[in-house]
Amino acid sequence: MSGLHLRAALAQRDLDVELHVAPGEVVALLGPNGSGKSTLLSLVAGLLQPDAGRITLDEDVLLDTDAGTHVPPHRRGVVLLAQQALLFPHLSAADNVAFGPRARGRGRGAARAEAVRWLDAVGADGLGARKPSELSGGQAQRVAVARALAAEPRLLLLDEPMEALDVAAAPALRQLLRTVLRTQGRSALLVTHDVLDALVLADRVVVLESGRVVESGPTRDVLSRPRSAFAARVAGLNLVAGTAVEHGLRTTDGVLVSGTVDPACVAGERAVAVFSPSAVAVHPSRPDGSPRNAVEVVVASVEPRGEQVRVRAVESGDGAGLMADVTVGAAAELELVPGARAWFAVKAAEVVVHPG
Ligand SMILES: Nc1ncnc2c1ncn2[C@@H]1O[C@H](COP(=O)(O)OP(=O)(O)OP(=O)(O)O)[C@@H](O)[C@H]1O
């Protein structure tokens, strides 16, 4: 058995969960407030004890309530990166990062050298001499990431690491985490409220509701075809997979989807185009005029959603499974019923292409 295996029940938090993170896998935990996401991370980190359960990481038993095993947090080989950077206030940034290597028995010089390397890797070079009180929120979070990674955890626990950052700083940290998690094949369990974090960082999504796993699967499947109420609420986005090209992506069927390309995309590598169903216009025939992404679809279903109706395309062809939100009037006028043909169009400005 390898990777993380967890089975835990904690009545006080109404939690009863089984979870697996494979070696090198990044799993995003999604769920409403109070669904138990942070509690789960605390159990893995060893900050909380379940009433009953067993947690193993690779060949090590971290917890076994039957056998009375409880490995303390600092000997679990896991690191928890919280919303707030939680750096040691009296140590410089470099000493904060060197703390992990020192704890692993590295000499002062070697630990320092590792700290410099990690600060460099997270784009915080030049900040090593500063105390945490002299860092901005974004800088402190970068240093915290460096400190977490320098500890060489077997599993990285991320509790909404982007939450405390302003909107301007979040994309840079997201990209940094992506680079680190992908290139180094790190295993991680990521708690997030943000679909984009899950999409960009995670291989798999696990949805918690009321302390139970209600859905799990590859990120794109869960986000594009959500089965749980929560996933449907947070996701419900159109996702089109393909390969990044200069101004968008190309699907495996050769269809070009134009959009704004995230700078983290590399041409020729896997990417996913994301756009909201409300950005999709529906036409009876091929729309002309401004350059748009347009595809002919066969309507699979038409479901009321408040003031609007959601039109879903059949699961085959170029526009497989795409969704469009239109007014009730438009749906009637266009005679959008299952089996009908229609054109879905979305402006390039409404499409964002992310690494996939
Ligand atoms: N320190 C605590 N003491 C007692 N109960 C707690 C404590 N922290 C959380 N809980 C309860 O445990 C349950 C799970 O909470 P938890 O914080 O794990 O949820 P979460 O999914 O991380 O929520 P959020 O998205 O709001 O951070 C909730 O019912 C919550 O009220």
Task: Kindly provide the ipTM of the predicted complex, given to two decimals.
Answer: 0.93
Domain hosting residue 209, numbered range = 4-234
Collapsed DSSP state (helix, strand, coil) of residue 124: coil
Pocket probe for ligand 1: among 38, 80, 191, the residue whose CB has the most ligand atoms within 8 Å is 38
Residues 195 and 283 in one domain: no
* pLDDT per position as a tens digit, 238-254: 888 889 999 999 988 88
Task: Tell me what pLDDT residue 290 has.
Answer: 60
Ligand 1 atom index nearest CA of 40: 18
Rounded to 5 degrees, what are φ and ψ at 82? Answer: -90, 175
Cα of 273 from ligand 1 centre, angstroms: 34
Task: Tell me what pLDDT residue 234 has.
Answer: 72
Domain end call among 213, 234, 255? 234
Please indicate whether residue 209, judged by its CB atom, sits closer than 6 Å to ligand 1: no
The answer to whether the beta carbons of residues 39 and 210 sit under 8 Å apart is no
Which residue CA neighbors atom 24 of ligand 1 most closely? 33
Please indicate whether residue 5, judged by its CB atom, sits closer than 6 Å to ligand 1: no
Residues 217 and 303 in one domain: no
Pocket probe for ligand 1: among 17, 19, 37, the residue whose CB has the most ligand atoms within 8 Å is 37
CA–CA dist 217, 226 (Å, integer): 10
Cα of 234 from ligand 1 centre, angstroms: 20
Residues 219 and 266 in one domain: no
Which residue CA neighbors atom 28 of ligand 1 most closely? 34
Domain end call among 234, 264, 295? 234
Q: How far from chain centre, in Å, is Cα 144?
A: 19
Residues 47 and 72 in one domain: yes
Residues 230 and 250 in one domain: no
Task: Tell me what pLDDT residue 201 has.
Answer: 87
Q: What CATH number should be reported for the domain holding residue 102?
A: 3.40.50.300
Residues 226 and 315 in one domain: no
Please indicate whether residue 192, judged by its CB atom, sits closer than 6 Å to ligand 1: no
Structure tokens at 194: 């943000």
Which one-letter amino acid corresponds to residue 269?
A: E
Ligand 1 atom index nearest CA of 193: 25
Which one-letter amino acid corresponds to residue 76?
A: R
Collapsed DSSP state (helix, strand, coil) of residue 141: helix
Return the closest-CA partner of residue 275 out of 198, 345, 202: 345
Please indicate whether residue 76, judged by its CB atom, sits closer than 6 Å to ligand 1: no
Which residue CA neighbors atom 11 of ligand 1 most closely? 13
Tell me how many domains the chain contains.
2
Which residue CA neighbors atom 31 of ligand 1 most closely? 34
Cα of 214 from ligand 1 centre, angstroms: 17
Residues 219 and 257 in one domain: no
Ligand 1 atom index nearest CA of 191: 22
Which residue CA neighbors atom 2 of ligand 1 most closely? 13
Residues 224 and 262 in one domain: no
Name every residue whose Cβ is closer than 8 Å to that of residue 316 and which is 6 or more positions away in sequence: none
Exposed, middle or buried by CB within 10 Å (0-12, 13-18, 19+), for 53?
buried
Residues 284 and 189 in one domain: no
Cα of 37 from ligand 1 centre, angstroms: 8
Task: Tell me what pLDDT residue 188 has.
Answer: 94
Task: Tell me what pLDDT residue 254 has.
Answer: 87
CA–CA dist 37, 35 (Å, integer): 6
Collapsed DSSP state (helix, strand, coil) of residue 133: helix
Task: Tell me what pLDDT residue 291 has.
Answer: 63
Residues 42 and 182 in one domain: yes
Q: What CATH number should be reported for the domain holding residue 248?
A: 2.40.50.100
Cα of 35 from ligand 1 centre, angstroms: 7
Residues 213 and 181 in one domain: yes
Dihedral over alpha carbons 300, 302, 308, 313 (to 10 degrees) = 0
Domain end call among 185, 219, 234? 234
Pocket probe for ligand 1: among 35, 83, 190, 234, the residue whose CB has the most ligand atoms within 8 Å is 35
Q: Within the chain, which residues score under 50 in pLDDT?
A: none
Which residue CA neighbors atom 12 of ligand 1 most closely? 13
The answer to whether the beta carbons of residues 112 and 94 sit under 8 Å apart is yes
Please indicate whether residue 17, judged by its CB atom, sits closer than 6 Å to ligand 1: no
Rounded to 5 degrees, what are φ and ψ at 222? Answer: -65, -40
Residues 300 and 195 in one domain: no
Ligand 1 atom index nearest CA of 41: 18
38 - beta bridge partners? none
